[in-house]
Structure 1
Amino acid sequence: MKRLYGDNLNQVTISPLNDYKHEKLGNVYMPPKIVHMCEDNGVFKKTKIHVTQYKDVFFKDDKVNPRIFLQGEAGSGKTTFLAKLALEWCRESHVSSASDNSSLFFNDVDVLQSFVFVFYITLRNSVKQFDVYTLSKEQIIDTIYSSQEDREQAYRLLNEIMKRERCLVLLDGLDEWTGPGDHHNLPTLVLEQSQCVLLFSTRPWKLTVVKIMPLDRYTSLHLEGINKPFEFSRIILSCLVDKDELELKYSAFEQYIEKQELGELLLSPMMLSAIVCSYAEGIELKGSKCEIYTLLVESLFKKANSNTCTFQQSPFPCFIRTEYIQPNLEQLNRLAEMAFHLLFVNAKENSLVFNITELKKFKMDERKQQDFVLKSGILSAKLTASTLRSSSSFMFIHKSMQEFLAAYHIACNTNLIDGSISVYLNRHPEAYLDISQVFIFLCGLDVSCAEKLSSMMDERDALDTFHLSYCHKMFNTIVLAGLREANANGYSDIALKLSHFNFNNNNIIDLHKIWENNAANAIVLRVDIDDRKPLENPRISPGNDECASQITFDLHSCLELRRLELSGRCILGKGKYTIRFFCQMCFRYV
């Protein structure tokens, strides 16, 4: 059985789309971030109690937990954690190499040795079977032995072991298990197997439909992701690039994640793998968020429907090389419509967490549709307590995924800009900053829609008074991100609207492109250049000994300009304006 685990569990796929990219689990494993959950009126709630050792998983008050539910969203690392646990029990020496870097986490392997046997069961392979003994026979013994005589002997031995010894049964993927359709809503043990401990892994939505009696003894844990995502990124990257390029590539990767603000996504091993693998293949050079999220949609859809088909004519650049979106286009369109409706039409307090009513509105309450969105992991569900009855509430796997799908829906229905979005911004004048991610995604999907939306957002931004200058700076950053997203998707000519300009060393070149289309609209122009720091991509003016880098602003057409602040060196201007000096600077009037 240990040899079986060594063969079947020690290989992991490091790319969410390419199943042929495998590595040994021990070479790429990073301990997860797990917290205890508490039950309150039938609802599981996360606590601040972190689980860092195996004893915290299996024991409470020095008593063994007979049933343990390890829940986590799609791609959070549940299966990997169970596989690593089984291999640790096997005492496989080669599985500890990577984890030595984080030896403080789950290093009490002796706790696992207190179990005489560990049985690893993949529930999706036996969706109708509920008896744990039968599951173990079919998935373990029948795989080890070929002759019926050997199997019969092993069956009898297995029965005696499960009656007499403390065993651990790992049941992976409860959310993928349907059961026989009778009263059995969980895989079960018979009474004489009471010494066995069951550890289920599942996505949270499954626990909303599983009936756990209040008197049942169990514990619930939540796997939030990876403890040290950047260390894990380096491990994955080392499997994809040449050894002599690793340090340089990893340093550039860290800068890329910071610049694109993708750090939060790295908590999920699935999302991290998608981002690192796309980076290793050169996608980072364009910095397209739309491509990354398209890759994530692909990896999720693949889990529910593995049929493949490419677009004969791709609707968007980021869809060109996709294989799993076209066969699931109907599901994508329904999800996208719902994502948009929740963000822009629903009341704000109901925009992220919603109930079955919203699924019905978009014909996603049917069993087939609901199975797809839950099994793919693009939606998650949890049980909501009520004084009268309990019901399920739903949410997208990540708010940014919901925003990407909403942007896709807008790009497919351009009339929404002048319709629902205009009404939304009029109803919530301050919300122009809240929809920044939708706007950025839209810049990578449909330029004309993005230009129209930027004009609406800029109108709201221009209404802010000067003491709210931080809002202007924030919107400045949002429009810059939109420009870069458009460029990353091959849209070089995009005319975004901006009235308040805040130039510095980090944005001078890209923001100047926006300035060229908006000089007549400019209300505020601030330029703060530190000549001790390099520009992001300095424009060189040959033949000028005084200033090697020059940025020129033509102020002739600035009919709306109300405030001009220049700070730094080598700033050239054209026009008849009084310049307010904040520090020593070289100003040449032309």
Structure 2
Amino acid sequence: MILKFIIGRIGIDKTSGEELLGEILKSNTCLLVLDGLDEWQHPERCHSGERIPHVQTSWENCTLLITTRPYKLAELKIGLSKIGKHVMVNGVSNPEKLVENILSRLNDLPSTGMSHNPEGTRTLLNHELCIKEIQENNLWHFSECPIVLAHIVWLSYKRRLLTDMKLSDLYETLLKERCSESCDKERCSESCDKSNSSPRSKYKEIIPTLSKIAFAKLFAEDENQTIVFEIDAEENVNFESQKTASLESGIISCTNVPGDSPQYYFLHKTVQEYLAALCISKDIAKCCSHIKHTYKNNRRESGISLSQILIFLCSIDTKAAEELSKEMNELFTDFCDRYGYPFFEARMLQDTILQGQKELDRSDYSGRNLCLKHIYDTNAATVLNVKTNQSRLVSLEINEILTEYKGTDNVLDLKNLKSLKYLRLWTKSVKDIIGLNLSHLVECSITFETPQLAPNLTSTFYNNDIECLQTLKKLVLSNLTDIHWLHKDSERKGIQKLFKCMVLRRRPHRGSEQKGILDLRRLGNLESSYRSWIERNILLRCGESTSV
């Protein structure tokens, strides 16, 4: 095969060419580059048992460089003894330059694609505008995968990368392009069955199978088998019959270390998440139940990792998206109950739900809303304007530390938040809080920027039975100047538990005759260990020196 190709390029007769080339390859140092092992077929007349392209043993000075997709090397199970050096190319160091090079070559092509202006004349594409378009479509993360980036540039070149495309449509187009390319290669092969090689039929055959595998592996019990995994042939009969087509499309790939089972992985994690979303849309109840079981028993995370799947579902199946949003909120609540409130992840959850709602509104006009039980805002005046059922809110965080204070004395009304378990408030504008329901509170952290009497908040603590705080694990009150409610019936059952989870940060009120004095004498009946704990925490956390 090598001789035939090179002789054809030289343009001399076969006999003379073979003799000349044979002498050159024997006596000179040559590099033979064979591009695309995954597209190579062994010559029918060759009787060698080699499973890869081979050279004459007399070509001692020749180095053979073979390029291939990883799955083909794994499929052939070639031993390391037959490979001088194995190099895996994982990406490019400068994807911007790659886009520029691809467009440069496409612009050199004679009037192909759809790069024409309304007048019918050809318009050359600018690589900077192309990169901007890819970034605006949230696809630049594919820049780490050269083959996918090349496809996206190709879509842009053909004007198929539209700004208003739904995310699921964009990924569907991308995967269909992969199938189309593999079918084009098949048509070039003499052994191709042309009746079964259309991109549409191949896509319909392999996508349902791959979506089930994507879901099963992404939510496997063993977290180490989610991205790179083995596929059991007996459990995945359909995949065995479609493995070649799946691998040739490049949607899924395979590597193999001699002595180990083949390891599979999808083109990109977001491709796996898109396929998993397709699987969920086919059986919502069963898949959500499986996700819930996996996270509660085999994951120590809050469910934020489901974010990308939710975004896909918002444009695939709005009912499935609604159900998954409920599941994500429940998983987040369960995580908070077990490990504490993760304020940073709470913001990520809200951002995901709001982004998903925008995607859902583009796909569904029925007014369906995603579930959101955990709210974060930087403005106390607008925090409860988010579309959600306030009575079901589980956590509320308001952080005005970086917000410009305009001097309004607001009272935060929380009377509708009947199920609130986690409250985190750092405020400049709020001077008092009304309607705080203590019955379900697990963590409560309230920080006023300046010392406040907050009579309504104080009254809430004073008038509620201390036993309603049995679920409380953490209580932080900073710059609350009136803490006389602590003195009320201090010997009652449960007050000692409250003191164990309580932190007081108190700055002395300016102008007070009792400046810097906190009277704990009425807590004298407490066990000495609890009293010592309270005194120690107050002393260590006061902004100024304090007498006890």
**Residues 478 and 183 of structure 1: is their aligned pair in 2 closer, same or farther, counting only changes over 3 Å?**
same
CA-to-aligned-CA distance 1:71-112 (integer Å, 9 cap, x gap) = xxxxxxxxxxxxxxxxxxxxxxxxxxxxxxxxxxxxxxxxxx
Whole-Å Cα distance in 1 between the matches of residues 91 and 417 of structure 2?
50
Map 1:306-385; keep pairs closer than 5 Å.
306=184, 324-357=199-232, 359-364=233-238, 366=240, 369-385=242-258
1:563 maps to a residue whose letter is L
Matched with 1:470 is 344
Higher mean alpha-carbon deviation, 160-169 vs 197-206, is at 160-169
Q: Which of the residues 166, 176, 199 maps onto 2:65?
A: 199
1:272 maps to a residue whose letter is L
2:423 maps to a residue whose letter is R
Computing the radius of gyration from Cα coordinates, the structure with the larger value is 2
**Residues 247 and 142 of structure 1: is their aligned pair in 2 closer, same or farther, counting only changes over 3 Å?**
closer
Matched with 1:29 is none
SS in structure 2 of the partner of residue 198 of structure 1: strand
Q: Which of the residues 563, 569, 586 maps onto 2:423?
A: 563
Map 1:169-568; keep pairs closer than 5 Å.
169-179=32-42, 180=44, 183-210=49-76, 212=78, 215-216=81-82, 218-233=84-99, 249=129, 252-253=132-133, 256=136, 260=138, 262-276=139-153, 281=159, 283=161, 285-286=163-164, 288-306=166-184, 324-357=199-232, 359-364=233-238, 366=240, 369-386=242-259, 390-428=260-298, 430-431=300-301, 432-463=303-334, 464-465=336-337, 467-487=341-361, 489=363, 493-504=367-378, 515-528=386-399, 557-561=416-420, 563=423, 565=425
**Residues 414 and 468 of structure 1: is their aligned pair in 2 closer, same or farther, counting only changes over 3 Å?**
closer
**Residues 287 and 563 of structure 1: is their aligned pair in 2 closer, same or farther, counting only changes over 3 Å?**
farther
CA contact (8 A) 1:287 1:485 kept: no
**Residues 282 and 490 of structure 1: is their aligned pair in 2 closer, same or farther, counting only changes over 3 Å?**
farther
CA contact (8 A) 1:342 1:350 kept: yes
Whole-Å Cα distance in 1 between the matches of residues 368 and 148 of structure 2?
29
Matched with 2:24 is 161
**Residues 434 and 188 of structure 1: is their aligned pair in 2 closer, same or farther, counting only changes over 3 Å?**
same
**Residues 202 and 251 of structure 1: is their aligned pair in 2 closer, same or farther, counting only changes over 3 Å?**
closer
CA-to-aligned-CA distance 1:442-499 (integer Å, 9 cap, x gap) = 2221111111111112012123055422332232233233224434556684411122
Structure 1 residue ranges without an equivalent (≥5): 1-133, 309-322, 533-545, 548-552, 585-590
**Residues 331 and 481 of structure 1: is their aligned pair in 2 closer, same or farther, counting only changes over 3 Å?**
same
Whole-Å Cα distance in 2 between the matches of residues 574 and 136 of structure 1?
86
**Residues 512 and 372 of structure 1: is their aligned pair in 2 closer, same or farther, counting only changes over 3 Å?**
farther
Whole-Å Cα distance in 2 between the matches of residues 406 and 427 of structure 1?
20
**Residues 490 and 153 of structure 1: is their aligned pair in 2 closer, same or farther, counting only changes over 3 Å?**
farther
SS in structure 2 of the partner of residue 221 of structure 1: coil
**Residues 385 and 346 of structure 1: is their aligned pair in 2 closer, same or farther, counting only changes over 3 Å?**
farther
SS in structure 2 of the partner of residue 354 of structure 1: coil
Whole-Å Cα distance in 1 between the matches of residues 185 and 77 of structure 2?
33
**Residues 517 and 237 of structure 1: is their aligned pair in 2 closer, same or farther, counting only changes over 3 Å?**
farther
CA RMSD after TM alignment: 4.5
CA-to-aligned-CA distance 1:542-582 (integer Å, 9 cap, x gap) = xxxx99xxxxx99674433463747578x9x9996799754
Matched with 1:313 is none
Whole-Å Cα distance in 1 between the matches of residues 271 and 2 of structure 2?
36
1:293 maps to a residue whose letter is Y
**Residues 462 and 365 of structure 1: is their aligned pair in 2 closer, same or farther, counting only changes over 3 Å?**
closer
CA contact (8 A) 2:96 2:131 kept: no
C-alpha displacement of 1:305: 2.5
Whole-Å Cα distance in 2 between the matches of residues 457 and 197 of structure 1?
55
The number of aligned residues is 404
**Residues 482 and 428 of structure 1: is their aligned pair in 2 closer, same or farther, counting only changes over 3 Å?**
farther
CA contact (8 A) 1:298 1:325 kept: yes
1:442 maps to a residue whose letter is L
C-alpha displacement of 1:415: 3.3
Higher mean alpha-carbon deviation, 278-287 vs 184-193, is at 278-287
C-alpha displacement of 1:185: 1.0
C-alpha displacement of 1:403: 1.7
C-alpha displacement of 1:282: 8.0
Whole-Å Cα distance in 2 between the matches of residues 255 and 208 of structure 1?
34
- Normalized against structure 1, the TM-score is what? 0.57
1:397 maps to a residue whose letter is L
Higher mean alpha-carbon deviation, 234-243 vs 331-340, is at 234-243
1:483 maps to a residue whose letter is Q
Whole-Å Cα distance in 1 between the matches of residues 277 and 60 of structure 2?
52
Whole-Å Cα distance in 1 between the matches of residues 38 and 234 of structure 2?
22
**Residues 256 and 406 of structure 1: is their aligned pair in 2 closer, same or farther, counting only changes over 3 Å?**
same
**Residues 279 and 492 of structure 1: is their aligned pair in 2 closer, same or farther, counting only changes over 3 Å?**
farther
Whole-Å Cα distance in 1 between the matches of residues 56 and 161 of structure 2?
53
1:256 maps to a residue whose letter is E
**Residues 342 and 254 of structure 1: is their aligned pair in 2 closer, same or farther, counting only changes over 3 Å?**
closer
C-alpha displacement of 1:343: 2.3
Whole-Å Cα distance in 2 between the matches of residues 248 and 303 of structure 1?
26
**Residues 504 and 234 of structure 1: is their aligned pair in 2 closer, same or farther, counting only changes over 3 Å?**
farther
SS in structure 1 of the partner of residue 390 of structure 2: helix
Q: Which of the two has greater strand per residue? A: 1
Map 1:83-102; keep pairs closer than 5 Å.
none
CA contact (8 A) 1:173 1:201 kept: yes
C-alpha displacement of 1:212: 4.8
Matched with 2:2 is 135
**Residues 155 and 583 of structure 1: is their aligned pair in 2 closer, same or farther, counting only changes over 3 Å?**
farther
CA contact (8 A) 2:314 2:360 kept: yes
**Residues 581 and 371 of structure 1: is their aligned pair in 2 closer, same or farther, counting only changes over 3 Å?**
same
CA-to-aligned-CA distance 1:274-306 (integer Å, 9 cap, x gap) = 445556748563474323322331232223334
Whole-Å Cα distance in 2 between the matches of residues 555 and 249 of structure 1?
48
